[in-house]
Amino acid sequence: MNEHVLRTAAPGVAPLPEVDHPSSPVAAFGAEEPLRLDAGVDLGPWQIAYQSYGALNAERSNAVLVCHALTGDQHVANRHPVTGKPGWWETLVGPGKPVDTDRYFVLCANVVGGCMGTTGPASRSPHTGRPYALDFPLVTIRDMVRAQAMLLDRLGIPSLFAVVGGSMGGMQVLQWAASYPERVFAAIPIAASARHSAQNIAFHEVGRQAVMADPDWRRGRYIEEGVRPRKGLAVARMGAHITYLSEGALHRKFGRSFQDRAAPTFSFDADFQIESYLRHQGMSFVERFDANSYLYVTRAMDYFDLAADYGGVLAKAFKGSPTRFCVMSFTSDWLFPTVESRAVVHALNAGGAQVGFVEIESDKGHDAFLLEEPEMFAAARGFLDAAAVARGIR
């Protein structure tokens, strides 16, 4: 890995594997059942790819929806078909886990605008027969949630026992509770916020500009031209990855340690371990993620401002909410700091909702929600167990 530049320029790159052949079940909706987007466009035909775990009970009362983060997908608790790695939240979701698939029917769907089987910018436009690319309409967090609601309708699930998600997944949890309060019994938004901050918009914008600056982006038409903006997307991922960690975690894991040697090489090689690590993060990401999806999904997060839909008063989004909430944050998360979760908790309280709040001591930064955090597991388990009793789930 010791060379100046990212080794991502493979000639004749293969298309992303999931664009046309999703490895998950798909709910397909015809042109007569379009997804109505906030941008004022009807998207159709369209489809949503999902994974499910466990069994729906006779009362249809035990469904749990897991919402994935920016670069996640529906493979929450099974081996990933592209990377071969374990599901991204197997620590939390599975048999005997806090989100217990022996007890609950767990669903996870790829977001609209994504690249793992749900319709997104890499999908073929029915109008042109070509990939949408930048002709794909902008989507919002509310659009993602609306698509999930249509999936639930299709599957015959009138209401959810719980909605759980971290980061952008937590934004969807909050949107679910606001848009469909009667369909959400319990909600766990983790490391999230009710609006994307100026600093977070700024980081996203740099990532998008890195993608668009890559000449292989071809103004979004790279699929047709048989290339991919690998370097630009890798740079975007490297920058974003820093924001998922914390200075403390970086210092503990890497410090100023040199890579494979005791002294600097006085070069632009990946001298420091942190450099080698980041380059690896960038290079592996481009193998599994579509660059245009990265633009669309970051944009959806930027646009998220739940209070704006309620006259600027967040409490109104949750007024009289029947949902019970467990809000969680991490002390070292500077991307979605505790102050953002606290604002949500205040609004929930003001709206009269039932809410618990846990700030978890961790030095792992924003990424903590994906990692081994026993306090998070214990809080989720306790909250869901109590809610299951209240809901009458055995």
Determine, following the binding rule CB under 8 A, whether residue 90 of this chain makes contact with a second copy: no
Determine, following the binding rule CB under 8 A, whether residue 267 of this chain makes contact with a second copy: yes
Cβ(103)–Cβ(54) below 8 Å: yes
Structure tokens at 107: 């669903």
Structure tokens at 283: 């290079």
* Number of residues binding to a second copy, judged by CB under 8 A: 60
- The nearest distance, CB 202 to a second copy, in angstroms, is 5
Stretch in the footprint of a second copy (CB under 8 A) among 74-82, 121-129, 242-250, 341-349:
242-250
Write down the catalytic residue from 167, 293, 321, 332. 167
Determine, following the binding rule CB under 8 A, whether residue 234 of this chain makes contact with a second copy: yes
Closer by beta carbon to a second copy, 74 or else 298: 298
Closer by beta carbon to a second copy, 134 or else 149: 134
Stretch in the footprint of a second copy (CB under 8 A) among 1-9, 23-31, 149-157, 317-325:
1-9
Q: Please identify which residue in 2, 57, 78, 197 interacts with a second copy, judged by CB under 8 A.
A: 197
Closer by beta carbon to a second copy, 125 or else 197: 197
- The nearest distance, CB 199 to a second copy, in angstroms, is 5
Determine, following the binding rule CB under 8 A, whether residue 4 of this chain makes contact with a second copy: yes
Stretch in the footprint of a second copy (CB under 8 A) among 45-53, 151-159, 170-178, 247-255:
247-255
- 246 included as an active-site residue: no
Determine, following the binding rule CB under 8 A, whether residue 130 of this chain makes contact with a second copy: no
Determine, following the binding rule CB under 8 A, whether residue 210 of this chain makes contact with a second copy: yes
- 167 included as an active-site residue: yes
- 68 included as an active-site residue: no
Stretch in the footprint of a second copy (CB under 8 A) among 15-23, 294-302, 353-361, 374-382:
294-302
Residues with a catalytic annotation lie at 167, 333, 366
Name the binding residues for substrate: 237, 367
Q: Which residues bind a second copy (CB under 8 A)?
A: 4-6, 38-40, 134, 137-138, 195-199, 201-203, 205-206, 208-210, 212-215, 219, 231-232, 234-235, 238-239, 242, 245, 247, 250-251, 253-256, 264, 266-268, 270-272, 274-275, 278-279, 282, 295, 299, 302-303, 305, 334
